[in-house]
Amino acid sequence: MAQVFKKRKIPAVYMPLGFLLPAVLLLSWQLLTSGKHALIGTPMETIKVFSALIMDGTILKLTLVSLERVLKGFAIGTVLGMASGILMGSSKQYEKFTAASFHAMRQIPMVAWVPVLIMWFGTGGFAQVVFIAWAAFYPSALNSYDGIKNIPQKYLEISRVYGYTRFQTIRRIIIPAALPNIRTGIVLSLNIAWTLLVAAEIMTSEPSGGLGNILSEGRETFNMQLLITGMIVMGTGGFLINKVAELIWDVVFKNNAGREAA
């Protein structure tokens, strides 16, 4: 596991090509809406709305509220998911006891849980955190489970040779060997948590205090510039969160590889 993921390095000469498609789309948008009362509005109108929300601090304020909800729900769902997946993968008794219920419940669409969560927890921020945690739970649990089930048998034989206890086997053999799958599950959970943030924040028509406010207001006032601004902020936020997650995991895998080499 010295090198789990290989990053493809893009030659510097090709880097500008990444801006080609956005430039074409922006130009097409401008040409299609210029001089007309188009539904979507012009890029300049959207930039004005976006700039105004940045200057008055609205975007920063709403982003911090939403980010707090995402991180809380993601942390709760991921920790519980990893624990459940590791237990199912390493204990046949636990797997037999929980597998049927686990796989049955994960087939229920997330939107179907919205009315239930509203009835149980109301419409405040806590209900939104629970919704995000529930969504983040399954990718983490499934990938942790798959990672443990796919561990080569010879790895487990090492634990028997050294006389490891069950806890030592999980900590020293199972979790390090399943780390690539666990990493995939955590990244997927983070992506889903951020993606479902808006769904969580617009579960009701009440102001949520997060980025869902921008989209809700844009929808209610039929303001396309505001809707597009919300979409841009959501997309940018998701991109930055992914980049931060990748940097953190690079450090984790480097440290893990260093311990193995030693």
pLDDT digits (tens, 9 = 90+) for 110-136: 878 888 888 888 777 788 888 899 989
- Averaged pLDDT for residues 180-206: 81
- Averaged pLDDT for residues 204-233: 79
Distance CA 176, CA 1 (A): 9
In terms of pLDDT, which residue wins out, 202 or 144? Answer: 144
Categorize the per-residue pLDDT at 75 as very low, low, confident or very high, splitting at 50, 70 and 90: very high
- CATH superfamily, region 43-261: MetI-like (1.10.3720.10)
| Nearest-5° Cα angle at 51, 50 to 54 | 90
pLDDT tens, residue by residue, 2-28: 344 445 566 666 566 667 777 777 777
Q: Is the pTM of this model over 0.85?
A: no
Give pLDDT, residue 76: 94
Residues 71/95, Cβ–Cβ less than 8 Å: no
Give pLDDT, residue 102: 84
Distance CA 208, CA 215 (A): 11
- Residues of 221-241 as b/e, b for ≥16 C-beta within 10 angstroms? eeebbbbbbbbebbeebbeeb
Domain boundaries of the chain, sorted by first residue: 43-261
- Averaged pLDDT for residues 183-193: 88
